[in-house]
Chain A
Amino acid sequence: MVDAGSLATSLERLGGRLMMLFAVDSVGGGQELCALVHADDAVIKLRAPVRGDGYPAVTRVVPAAHWFEREIHDLHGITPHGHPRLEPLVTHPPDDGEVKLFGEGDVGPTHRGAERLAGPGVFVIPYGPVRSGVFEAAQFLVQTGGEDVAYCAQRLFFKRRGAERRVCEVPLELAVLVAERVSGTSSVAHALAFSHAVEGLAETEVPARAQAIRRSLAELERLYNHLEATVRECEDASLSVAQAQFAALKERLHRLAGRVAGNRFLRGTVVPGGTRIDLDTDAVDLIAATLAEWEREWRRVLAVLLRTDSFLDRLVSAGPLSEEDARDFACVGPVARGSGIDLDARRDLPYDAYPEFQVAHHSDGDAMARMEVRFQEVLCSLELIREGIQSLAPGATRSEIGPFARRSALGVAESARGETLYWLEADGDGTLRSCKLRAASFVNFGIFNRVFDSQVLTDFSFIEHSLGLSPAGCDA
């Protein structure tokens, strides 16, 4: 327990990676800040009661806190004094039909603007939230003189659905359905992270068979998400045949998911205590046979892609993210691993009995490096699925969730986009009193403006898709 006044100093002294920073209502009244830090292979929790209406901002010394502190300010009215940019983040000003580009004149405290650049011919492209093509709602304000991107600001949280509130409101046995729908393309990872947290509260052991099924499904989900990023990059490069062939490969994975789990995005599979589905020998044979053929085709198409200059030219050196920035802003997933950070929750904060595997990482930090990480992870995931379906120990697939033995617990899972976190606090009567979730995209969106430094407008979509972000997950 530290005081909020000294939280910044404590976090700076602690070092490590800031996983989450959020405010909760204290049991005895009042509010407290809660910080989770990953340092020395452990998760360290700091709780800091807030006295008065604010505290000295952590962002000044730990840049990774920047969005967390704006969120705390928006949702709890606690002011991080000295925050470099305390504008609304998750709340939106009333919609009067005009895009507010900059905080000028009487716009006052509701402005969500970027720094305005001056100069001859500089103009702003307000791109989104309804964007050309089939995309999720997000807005990007691109300031440009025509070719070079001078500054790109991201505006998110158009899709905020109140998932954290819903998780606590609904009966505990149905709450996993909410978690599955936070980021619908990472349903398994969100269900896993939530389930791990509930299992932590109740100190439940998950049967070995369920763990093997969970690993197989989580890796199948990683495959189709990495394929999605690949399809989008091929589309951006106008490689129609490559796009079609990778899209066909992706479709085969969804069809496999539909056959073994009854849902093309593997919903309704992972629950607290284990899994709702079992994989019988027919399902195991189907998975093994489908993926064996799938891998041969994947290797063939990828080999051609990696010899296609018009693809490589657009990705190599596009959207560079330095290791220092990735570390400062606590990036996760392929975005961090593409910038040389060896970080993977499956190995570092182990769960569900993953066997030893090689974590792919790359030091170039550009769009190509992030894609290379995904290409290596595809092969790794195939191997992990094979391992999973071969190690299905006989037995149950689900343990009973008993009364809660603990008052709070953290659940972790590595989605295709990176580390996904659920922090749950329980009341004495076995209900959830608070939930804080943090999808990988929440932290990775924070560096969106940085990767556009001195980039050109025509590379926008290549850079965006190499980050593989989920606005739904970020906004929750």
Chain B
Amino acid sequence: MIRWFLRGVTGRRLTTRYPRASEPPPSGFRARALLPSEPVTGEAATRAAAACLPRALSVDRDGALAFDETRCIGCGLCADALTMDPGYESARLGDSRVPLSPAFRRSLHIRHVDTGSDGAAEQEIAALMNPYYDMQRLGLFFTASPRHADVLLVTGPVTRPMEGPLRRAYEAMPEPRVVVAAGTDACSGSIWTEPEVLGGVDRVLPVDVYVPGDPPTPIALLHGLLLASGRAQEASSAGTKSAA
């Protein structure tokens, strides 16, 4: 045990200073597609929309390319028409934009529920506890019971067998409560469709914070949780629902 103690007290600081300092992604990181400022039209728009499996890109009535970031998996197959945004901070508030409780500003207790993820989002959530992110320093904690939870952190599109357990976990939570959809599949259902998958979490529960990402990076998750506690803002690059 003394060896672990010595290993624990030696060594340099690894922990990010996020959110006080920004944590830049590496160049070439594919977080999501980025629409140019002028509308994409014509054949380029049709081709980009056809290459988009989760239908994040579509051609609207005016023939211009529209973008729904909650569906984007960052595959980059549209990148001959668009560019890719490497930015980690992807979280957005839900349409309801209910004022989040001031009780959440200092500390949050989080209950995670998997409703059909691919398994990577869970590992990115677990990474929040590694020394690089160390979410406890921000007053964020996981709790085993939904009865002690402020946040329901949901990963995965909602499969039919998981609809009931998801509802029951939500109903067991005390109010006020926040639902965070973590990952593109939880935000919108992503590439998955009926009949096995109902769609995104908002088909079942009111979603307060969307954290798109495939999988959502640890910084994206931290940003989403801080947004839920009222301690962060939506990133300026995110939040553009369409080019129009």
Chain B CB within 8 A of A247 CB: yes
Does the CB pair A258–B29 fall under 8 Å?
yes
Contacts of B36 in A (CB 8 A): none
Does the CB pair B215–A177 fall under 8 Å?
no
Chain A CB within 8 A of B123 CB: yes
Contacts of B76 in A (CB 8 A): 262, 268, 276
> Shortest CB–CB separation between residue A320 and chain B, in angstroms?
26
Contacts of A178 in B (CB 8 A): 53, 191
Whether A262 contacts B30 in the complex (CB less than 8 A), given A166-B191, A473-B119, comes out as: yes
> Shortest CB–CB separation between residue B155 and chain A, in angstroms?
9
Interface class of chain B by DSSP: loop
* A185–B169 CA distance with the chains assembled, in angstroms: 26
Does the CB pair A92–B53 fall under 8 Å?
no
Chain B CB within 8 A of A76 CB: no
Instruction: Choose among B127, B156, B190 the residue that contacts A251 (Cβ–Cβ < 8 A).
Output: B127
* A168–B130 CA distance with the chains assembled, in angstroms: 39
- Size bracket, chain B contacts: 35 or more
Chain A CB within 8 A of B45 CB: no
Does the CB pair B191–A244 fall under 8 Å?
no
Contacts of A240 in B (CB 8 A): 8
Does the CB pair B3–A134 fall under 8 Å?
no
Contacts of B132 in A (CB 8 A): 248, 251
Candidate in B75, B169, B185 with the most chain A CB atoms within 10 angstroms: B75
Does the CB pair A95–B129 fall under 8 Å?
no
Does the CB pair B123–A185 fall under 8 Å?
yes
Chain A CB within 8 A of B222 CB: no
> Shortest CB–CB separation between residue B223 and chain A, in angstroms?
16
* A133–B122 CA distance with the chains assembled, in angstroms: 10
Does the CB pair B30–A268 fall under 8 Å?
yes
Whether A248 contacts B114 in the complex (CB less than 8 A), given A160-B159, A264-B217, comes out as: no
**Chain A: CB-nearest residue to B124:** A264
* A301–B3 CA distance with the chains assembled, in angstroms: 10
Contacts of B53 in A (CB 8 A): 170, 174, 177-178
Chain A CB within 8 A of B35 CB: no
Does the CB pair B26–A134 fall under 8 Å?
no
Instruction: Choose among A136, A160, A268 the residue that contacts B114 (Cβ–Cβ < 8 A).
Output: A136
Chain B CB within 8 A of A5 CB: no
Does the CB pair B4–A159 fall under 8 Å?
no
Does the CB pair B75–A307 fall under 8 Å?
no
Chain B CB within 8 A of A345 CB: no
Does the CB pair B191–A472 fall under 8 Å?
no
Does the CB pair A247–B127 fall under 8 Å?
yes
Does the CB pair A267–B193 fall under 8 Å?
no
Chain B CB within 8 A of A97 CB: yes
Does the CB pair B130–A248 fall under 8 Å?
yes
- Size bracket, chain A contacts: 35 or more
Segment with Cβ contacts to A, from B101-109, B160-168, B224-232: B160-168
Candidate in A134, A304, A471 with the most chain B CB atoms within 10 angstroms: A134
* A337–B234 CA distance with the chains assembled, in angstroms: 48
Contacts of A393 in B (CB 8 A): none
Whether A177 contacts B191 in the complex (CB less than 8 A), given A137-B116, A241-B4, comes out as: yes
* A307–B91 CA distance with the chains assembled, in angstroms: 43
Q: Which of B1-31 contact A (CB under 8 A)?
A: 1, 3-5, 7-8, 14, 25-26, 28-30
Contacts of B165 in A (CB 8 A): 95, 129-130, 137, 158
Q: Mark B106-148, 1 if CB is under 8 A from A, else 0.
A: 0000001111111111111111011110000000001011100
Does the CB pair B161–A264 fall under 8 Å?
no
Q: Mark B159-192, 1 if CB is under 8 A from A, else 0.
A: 1111111101100000000000000010000111
* A308–B1 CA distance with the chains assembled, in angstroms: 7
Does the CB pair A184–B118 fall under 8 Å?
yes
Chain B CB within 8 A of A162 CB: yes
Contacts of A304 in B (CB 8 A): 3-4, 7
Chain B CB within 8 A of A195 CB: no
Candidate in A136, A161, A166, A177 with the most chain B CB atoms within 10 angstroms: A161
**Chain B: CB-nearest residue to A473:** B119
Chain B CB within 8 A of A236 CB: no
> Shortest CB–CB separation between residue A297 and chain B, in angstroms?
10
Does the CB pair A184–B117 fall under 8 Å?
yes
Q: Mark A210-252, 1 if CB is under 8 A from B, else 0.
A: 0000000000000000001001000000011110110110110
> Shortest CB–CB separation between residue B221 and chain A, in angstroms?
11
* A235–B73 CA distance with the chains assembled, in angstroms: 31
* A285–B147 CA distance with the chains assembled, in angstroms: 50
Does the CB pair A92–B160 fall under 8 Å?
yes
Query: Could you give 13 example pairs across A and B, Cβ below 8 Å?
Result: A95-B165, A97-B164, A129-B161, A158-B161, A159-B115, A160-B161, A166-B192, A177-B73, A185-B118, A244-B8, A247-B126, A265-B215, A472-B117
* A interface, CB within 8 angstroms of B: 92, 95, 97, 129-130, 132-137, 157-162, 165-166, 170, 174, 177-178, 181-185, 187, 228, 231, 239-242, 244-245, 247-248, 250-251, 254-255, 258-259, 262-265, 267-268, 276, 301, 304, 307-308, 310, 470-473
15 new A-B contacts, CB < 8 A, other than A137-B115, A181-B214, A239-B4, are A92-B161, A95-B164, A129-B162, A133-B142, A135-B112, A166-B192, A174-B51, A174-B77, A177-B191, A183-B118, A184-B117, A184-B119, A187-B120, A231-B126, A267-B75
